[in-house]
Amino acid sequence: MMQSGIPVCNTCGDQVGLDANGEVFVACHECNFPICKDCLSYEIKEGRKVCQRCGTPYGEDSPTDDGETNVSETTSTMASHLNNEPKDVGLHARHISSVSTVDSEMNDESGNPIWKNRVESWKDKKNKKKKAPSKTEKEEIQVPPEQQMEEQQSPEGAGAQPLSTLIPLSKSKLTPYRIVIVMRLIILVLFFQYRVTHPVDSAYGVWMTSVICEIWFAVSWVLDQFPKWSPVSRETYIDRLSARYEREGEPSELAAVDFFVSTVDPMKEPPLITANTVLSILAVDYPVDKVSCYVSDDGAAMLTFESLVETADFARKWVPFCNKFTIEPRAPEFYFSQKIDYLKDKIQPSFVKERRAMKRDYEEFKVRINALVAKAQKTPEDGWTMQDGTSWPGNNTRDHPGMIQVFLGNTGAQDIEGNELPRLVYVSREKRPGYPHHKKAGAENALVRVSAILTNAPFILNLDCDHYVNNSKAIREAMCFLMDPQLGPGLCYVQFPQRFDGIDRSDRYANRNTVFFDVNMRGLDGIQGPVYVGTGTVFNRQALYGYSPASLPTLTKPSSSCSWCGCCSCCCPQKKPTKDLSELYKDTKREELDAAIFNLREIDNYDEHERSMLISQMSFEKTFGLSSVFIESTLMENGGVPDSVNPSTLIMEAIHVISCGYEEKTEWGKEIGWIYGSVTEDILTGFKMHCRGWRSVYCMPLRPAFKGSAPINLSDRLHQVLRWALGSVEIFFSRHCPLWYGFAGGRLKWLQRLAYINTIVYPFTSFPLVSYCSLPAICLLTGKFIIPTLSNLASLLFLCLFISIITTSILELRWSGVTIEEFWRNEQFWVIGGVSAHLFAVFQGFLKMLAGLDTNFTVTAKAADDSEFGDLYIIKWTTLLIPPTTLLIVNLVGVVAGFSDALNKGYEAWGPLFGKVFFAFWVIFHLYPFLKGLMGRQNRTPTIVVLWSVLLASVFSLVWVKINPFVSKVDSNTIAQSCISIDC
Binding-site positions for Mn(2+) = 440, 464
Give yes or no: 682 in active site. Answer: yes
Catalytic residue from among 518, 682, 716, 901: 682
- Where b means 16+ CB within 10 Å and e means fewer, 619-650 reads bbbbbbbbbbbbbbbbbbbebebbeebeeeeb
Cα(23)–Cα(228) distance, integer angstroms: 29
Three-class SS string for 760-825? Answer: HHHHHHHHHHHHHHHHHHHHHHHCCCCCCCCCHHHHHHHHHHHHHHHHHHHHHHHHHCCCHHHHHH
Cα(748)–Cα(924) distance, integer angstroms: 41
Q: What are phi and psi of 500, to 5 degrees?
A: -130, 150
Identity of the residue numbered 373 = V
Q: What are phi and psi of 545, to 5 degrees?
A: -80, 5
403-408 sheet: strands from edge to edge: 403-408, 423-428, 291-297, 257-263, 459-464, 537-540, 491-495, 695-698
SS3 641: coil
Nearest partner of 727 among 609, 855, 894, 906, judged by Cα: 855
The dihedral region occupied by 869, where left means phi > 0, alpha psi between -120 and 50, and beta the remainder, is left
Nearest partner of 286 among 308, 257, 262, 263, judged by Cα: 257
The dihedral region occupied by 613, where left means phi > 0, alpha psi between -120 and 50, and beta the remainder, is alpha
With vertex at residue 87, the alpha carbon angle to CA 82 and CA 92, rounded to the nearest 5 degrees, is 105
Binding-site positions for UDP-alpha-D-glucose = 262, 268-269, 298, 439
Nearest partner of 450 among 255, 254, 294, judged by Cα: 294
The dihedral region occupied by 734, where left means phi > 0, alpha psi between -120 and 50, and beta the remainder, is beta
Cα(298)–Cα(294) distance, integer angstroms: 12
Cα(262)–Cα(95) distance, integer angstroms: 30
- Where b means 16+ CB within 10 Å and e means fewer, 953-975 reads beebbeebeeeeeeeeeeeeeee
658, 427 contact by CB (below 8 A): yes
Identity of the residue numbered 22 = G
DSSP single-letter state for residue 254: P
Cα(761)–Cα(223) distance, integer angstroms: 9
Q: What are phi and psi of 834, to 5 degrees?
A: -65, -40
* Sign of the alpha-carbon torsion through 670, 668, 639, 637: positive
Catalytic residue from among 298, 466, 518, 525: 298
User: Hey, which bits of 189-256 come out as E strands?
Assistant: 232-236
Cα(426)–Cα(447) distance, integer angstroms: 10
644, 638 contact by CB (below 8 A): no
Cα(620)–Cα(598) distance, integer angstroms: 11
**Neighbour-count burial of 411, counting CB atoms closer than 10 A to its CB (0-12 exposed, 13-18 middle, 19+ buried):** exposed
Residues contacting 638, CB < 8 A, separation 6+: 87, 88, 255, 458
826, 515 contact by CB (below 8 A): yes
Beta bridge partners of 459: 257, 540
266, 304 contact by CB (below 8 A): yes
The CA-based diameter of the chain, rounded to the nearest angstrom, is: 126
Tell how strand 423-428 and strand 499-501 pair up.
unpaired
Hey, which residues are catalytic here? Answer: 298, 682
